[in-house]
């Protein structure tokens, strides 16, 4: 049964209407819908949507065949979250006075803020630039920090930044994600995708770069090769390890035991 028939539902009499203002004496859904939503207030303003001209009688349209009601409203401020809140409140209010099988949709009126932004745009995760240099830097800094950590330093100054476990974790996880999902590099990458083969070449080149930077003696005495093995293994693993340092705690315990006084 559609809204074209007069029915008794939820204690109200319903009648057909394709526009607001017709058959008001029958108690049609447009009338009830308007009464229900016209007193909703904008969260940012002390006035109802009707007084703010955000909602009018023409804002509600009904399609009996599709059992669908559409509310078109105008946000009073250029802010997507407030528009979403208003739209959800309109939908919830109108569904209270309609049969359960009716679908209620909300739409921002043309010319207002959200016209340029689709729902997909609003749900998109912000995407930063993905470059080969970023892959190299993550690799280089990750290995240098882990080498310092293996020799007993919890933080180390690198490239004008003080690196500790937190940023090293970010670099490790980002490398793992890029390899795992074979992301395509931006810039002049020419469609190059990150994979284990590319990462392997980056590892070799960046280890040579680190050796030149710190010197051969320090490179040999330091834990750079061990750090490289551990960092590479975690970046290329099929499953992401929980923490960067868990896999190397045994080394710390063996080489830097805690002095415990014994009775």
Looking at domain 7-123, which CATH architecture does it have? 2-Layer Sandwich (3.30)
Give 212-222 pLDDT, tens digit per residue: 999 999 998 88
Share of the chain above pLDDT 70, in %: 56
- The domain limits of the chain are 7-123, 132-255
Give 96-148 pLDDT, tens digit per residue: 666 777 777 777 666 554 445 556 666 677 778 889 999 999 999 999 999 99
Q: Stretch 3-17: mean pLDDT, rounded?
A: 34
Q: Stretch 32-45: mean pLDDT, rounded?
A: 55
User: Which pLDDT belongs to residue 101?
Assistant: 76
Q: Are 202 and 139 in contact (CB under 8 A)?
A: yes
Same fold flag, 7-123 and 132-255: no
Q: Stretch 152-177: mean pLDDT, rounded?
A: 88
Measuring CA to CA, which residue among 45, 231, 79 is closest to residue 141?
231
pTM over 0.75: no
User: Which pLDDT belongs to residue 134?
Assistant: 92
User: Which pLDDT belongs to residue 3?
Assistant: 32
Report helix angle 132-150 to 224-236, nearest 10: 130
Give 148-157 pLDDT, tens digit per residue: 998 888 888 8
Res. 26: pLDDT tops 60: no
User: Which pLDDT belongs to residue 217?
Assistant: 92
User: Which pLDDT belongs to residue 74?
Assistant: 67
Question: Given pLDDT bands bounded at 50, 70 and 90, which one contains residue 24?
Answer: very low
**259 or 210, which is more confident?**
210
**254 or 42, which is more confident?**
254
Q: Are 207 and 191 in contact (CB under 8 A)?
A: no
Looking at domain 132-255, which CATH architecture does it have? Up-down Bundle (1.20)
C-alpha span between 30 and 19 (Å, rounded): 7
* Lowest model confidence (mean pLDDT) among 32-46, 48-62, 167-181: 32-46
Res. 237: pLDDT tops 50: yes
* Lowest model confidence (mean pLDDT) among 12-26, 87-101, 102-116, 160-174: 12-26
């Amino acid at each position: 049964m559609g809204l074209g028939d007069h029915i008794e539902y939820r204690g109200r009499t319903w009648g057909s209407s394709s526009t607001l203002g017709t058959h008001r004496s029958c108690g049609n859904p447009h009338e009830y819908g308007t009464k229900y939503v016209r007193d909703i207030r904008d969260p940012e303003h002390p006035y109802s949507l009707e007084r703010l001209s955000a909602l009018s009688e023409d804002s509600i349209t009904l399609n009996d065949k599709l059992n669908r009601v559409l509310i078109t409203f105008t946000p009073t401020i250029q802010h997507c979250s407030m528009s979403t809140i208003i739209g959800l409140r309109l939908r919830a209010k109108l569904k209270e006075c309609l049969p359960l099988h009716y679908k209620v949709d909300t739409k921002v009126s043309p010319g207002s803020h959200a016209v340029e932004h689709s729902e997909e745009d609003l749900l998109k995760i912000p995407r930063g630039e993905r470059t080969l240099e970023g892959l190299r830097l993550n690799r280089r800094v990750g290995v240098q920090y882990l080498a310092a950590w293996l020799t007993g330093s919890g933080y180390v100054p690198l490239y004008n930044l003080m690196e500790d476990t937190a940023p090293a974790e970010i670099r490790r996880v980002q490398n793992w994600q890029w390899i795992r999902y074979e992301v395509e590099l931006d810039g002049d990458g020419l469609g190059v995708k990150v994979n284990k083969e590319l990462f392997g070449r980056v590892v070799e080149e960046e280890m040579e770069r680190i050796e030149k930077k710190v010197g051969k003696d320090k490179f040999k005495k330091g834990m750079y090769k061990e750090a490289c093995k551990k960092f590479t293994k975690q970046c290329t693993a099929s499953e992401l390890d929980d923490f960067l340092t868990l896999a190397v705690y045994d080394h710390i315990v063996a080489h830097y035991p805690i002095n415990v006084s014994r009775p």
